[in-house]
Amino acid sequence: MNILPVDKTVIDKFGPYTLSTGILLIVLGMAGILLPNVMSLSAAILVGWLLLIGGSLWAVHTYQSGSKNIMDWIKPVLLFGTGSLMLFYPVSGVATMGLLLAVYLLLDAMHSFALARAIYPAGGWGWIAFNGIVSALLAAMFLIGWPTTSLWLVGLFVGISLLFDGWALVTIGWALRRRK
């Protein structure tokens, strides 16, 4: 039973490849879960290439704008340098990504606890507090064995995320097929 009406414009944005995309994401997610080290290194290499390309594009833009100010060149140099380091030292890149994820999860936990306290005793405060506990435990998992645990935890988390994204798209894809 739908309480709110379905927005047909949102549903229509999903194309005919939603189901197949979801299946591919599930396969990638399972690969990430079964081979987390490979997924972690792949993620670090992807991020490295994105930073390298971004730094290159930014450098071209800075050059084309005719800038002679050294401050304008800091961003492209940092992007290019960071991307290069991640490509040449992907294991260190994974460790860095693990540390950043731990910091994010700790901040998320603190936010969840503050939000739960702010809305207590309204409904849902317990789930928000539970989310904070889970985020704190996940951060602890990263930090306890850091940097070693990052090599498999980053890939595991990416794999789980892809798996759930895939399942979401598969369910939407099946619903669209039944609708036709």
| pLDDT tens track for 15-29 | 778 888 999 999 999
Tell me how many domains the chain contains: 1
**Mean pLDDT over residues 80-107, rounded?**
93
Is the pLDDT score of 2 beyond 60? no
Residue 1 domain-assigned (yes or no): no
Residue 41 domain-assigned (yes or no): yes
Residue 58 domain-assigned (yes or no): yes
Residue 3 domain-assigned (yes or no): no
Residue 5 domain-assigned (yes or no): no
Other beta carbons within 10 Å of 42: 19
DSSP state of 122: S
- Locate 135 and state its tokens: 């985020």
pLDDT (tens digit, 9 = 90+) per residue, 114-134? 998 988 888 888 988 998 998
Is the pLDDT score of 176 beyond 80? no
**Mean pLDDT over residues 135-159, rounded?**
90
Residue 141 domain-assigned (yes or no): yes
Is the pLDDT score of 70 beyond 70? yes
Question: Which pairs count as long-range contacts for 34-38, CB under 8 Å and 24+ apart, including other chains?
Answer: 34/159, 35/155, 36/151, 36/152, 36/153, 36/154, 36/155, 36/156, 36/159, 37/151, 37/152, 37/155, 38/155
Domain boundaries, position 36: 16-179
Contact predicate 150/98, CB 8 Å: yes
Residue 164 domain-assigned (yes or no): yes
Q: Write the single-letter amino acid at 125.
A: W
**Mean pLDDT of all residues in the chain?**
88
**Residue 9 is inside which H or E element, if any?**
helix 8-12
Residue 4 domain-assigned (yes or no): no
